[in-house]
Amino acid sequence: MTDQTAQPDRTAPDSTPAGSGVSRRSLFRAAGVGAAVVGGGALLEACSSGIQGAATNSPSASSSSSSSSSASTSASGSATGEITIGWIHPLTGGLAGFGYPDNFVLSQAMATSQFKNGIKIGGTTYKVTIKSYDTQSSVTKAGSLAKQAIQQDNCDLLFASSTPETVNAVASQAEALGTPLICSNIPWESWYINLGGNPQKPTLAPKHTIMYFLGAEHLALAFKPMWDRIGEKYGNNHQVAAAYPNDSDGNAFRAVFPLVLKGTGYNLDISTAYPDGLTNYTSMISQFKSHGDDFFTNVPLPPDFATMWTQALQQGFKPKLATVAKVLLFPTDAYAMGSKVYNIATDAWWVPSLPWHSSLDGQTCQELAAAYTAAGLGQPNQNISNFTLFEIAYAALTSVDNPHDKAALSAALFKVKLDEAVAGPVDYTSTNLKTNPAPGVAITPPVGIQWQKGKKYPLEAVVVDNTLQPNAKITGDLLPTFTS
């Protein structure tokens, strides 16, 4: 399934993330790693899966029980071949916010000359067909759709985006069935462990799948500077209320966050590991209140956060700064809770102020964000960064002689190096653990954002901390969630 041949000695195998007081080795040992830690321009048109045109206000897909949808337009001129790419992503269900911008991303990528006019490989111009597969936010469906894309629909290349619930099942199928896959929006540790790797000793080299995103430790390192700054102004007892569920994300955070924060002076007041779907959070809220915790963090399912936070407000738990993970990542999620989430902070792996350019057409992040808003889609969504799926695909496809040779195309993925990309530079040839902690992984560090009462929108995502990504511009002042 994977190539477990030892890799060349990678830079600083026991390296420590910047700002952390704990080594990567000890971090993952405590997390239980090693056992289990918890040319044709193809435009996707309105089809059975329901992805709508890029200029609509609702790009999400309607439910489609098992089929995929695809549509293609032929290249003008003499296209004599075809490349089929399958994109497996959540367009409906609880994770639909992640897939909200995907049709816009698709339209932007396919409008570039590289895709619009067909991809020329070895003297042949290939039109491109994109097949979209809606997982409906189901782990089981993600895996079955990957198998369908490979075995029935004969996809040459796959994309998988957004959360372990989507990506890991697809990656398992891609490795097992020998199909090249580019992944995004999944913490690298989860992706790597799923493939059989050990982040503590990253020697396993996947044969067919690569990814770009951040890691779990980056979230702790993004939140701490914000706690520090609020603490300087409003007092700091270094007590952080931590509500972690009894699921894979919660168990990983419960193990990793204390180690990343070791030696910083912060103490995590960790809740009982509660079940997903819990409806009464009184016990943990009482715990946090009685301990006088100044700060709050969590990693819940979105519906659970809405229930938990509503009850916290009703019961008078008012931390000086709330820093959440896995929720409030997208405008639609924030709007749904309205004023309840004023001045709550989270992470963002992509923001319009980043200085990156598209490697396909030179568009800046700001230009893409403006186009997104002009298309009627509202405030930019950080998954516009999925554009880089297409950038990596183009780089790999144009480096092989035959796009239908899956072994060659898979090998080409690991040779991609883009100094410019919408998600940020990615280099799969590097052995620097800071940017490439394992084979097939490229890190795109996050910034800290805060949902503040807006002028143009009800809530606006303001960049308030760029400690891990200094290339991003600060766009507003960090405010306390509560002052009393």
CATH number of the domain that residue 319 is part of: 3.40.50.2300
Residues 303 and 373 in one domain: no
Q: Are 394 and 192 in contact (CB under 8 A)?
A: no
According to the model, what pLDDT value does residue 249 have? 79
According to the model, what pLDDT value does residue 250 have? 86
Residues 86 and 98 in one domain: yes
Q: Does 436 map to a domain? A: yes
Residues 192 and 243 in one domain: no
More confident call, 80 vs 227: 227
Q: Tokens representing 231? A: 């603490």
Residues 424 and 460 in one domain: no
pLDDT tens, position by position, 249-292 = 788 788 889 988 999 999 999 999 999 999 999 999 999 999 99
Closest C-alpha among 311, 349, 303 to residue 327: 303
Helix (H, G, I), strand (E, B) or coil at 312: helix
Q: Does 5 map to a domain? A: no
Backbone angles phi, psi at 314, to 5 degrees: -65, -35
Report the number of distinct structural domains present in the chain. Answer: 2
Residue 463 has pLDDT above 90, yes or no: yes
Residues 239 and 322 in one domain: yes
Query: Using CB atoms within 10 A of its CB, is residue 94 exposed (0-12), middle (13-18) or buried (19+)?
Result: middle
Residues 439 and 450 in one domain: no
Q: Does 11 map to a domain? A: no
Q: Tokens representing 208? A: 């067919």
Q: Does 158 map to a domain? A: yes
Q: How far is CA 466 from CA 218, 225, 253, 448, 454, in A?
A: 12, 9, 22, 6, 21
What's the CA gap between 385 and 422, in Å, rounded?
6
Q: Does 472 map to a domain? A: no
Residues 105 and 74 in one domain: yes
Q: What is the distance between the terminal CA atoms of the chain, rounded to a whole angstrom?
A: 55
Residues 35 and 133 in one domain: yes
Lowest mean pLDDT among 12-21, 41-50, 277-286, 355-364: 41-50
Q: Are 258 and 287 in contact (CB under 8 A)?
A: no
Residues 64 and 194 in one domain: yes
- Report the pLDDT averaged over residues 300-325: 96
- Report the pLDDT averaged over residues 396-419: 98
Residue 345 has pLDDT above 70, yes or no: yes
More confident call, 252 vs 5: 252
Q: Are 39 and 126 in contact (CB under 8 A)?
A: yes
Q: Does 470 map to a domain? A: no
Residues 92 and 158 in one domain: yes
Residue whose token pair is 């039109």: 127
Residues 243 and 111 in one domain: no
Backbone angles phi, psi at 257, to 5 degrees: -55, -45
Domain of residue 119 covers 24-214+353-443
Closest C-alpha among 242, 216, 207 to residue 412: 207
Question: How long is the chain?
Answer: 484
Q: Which amino acid is at 71?
A: A
pTM assigned to the model? 0.84
According to the model, what pLDDT value does residue 271 have? 97
Residues 418 and 452 in one domain: no
Task: Tell me the pairing of strands 181-184 and 209-213.
Answer: parallel
Mean pLDDT score of the chain, rounded to an integer? 86
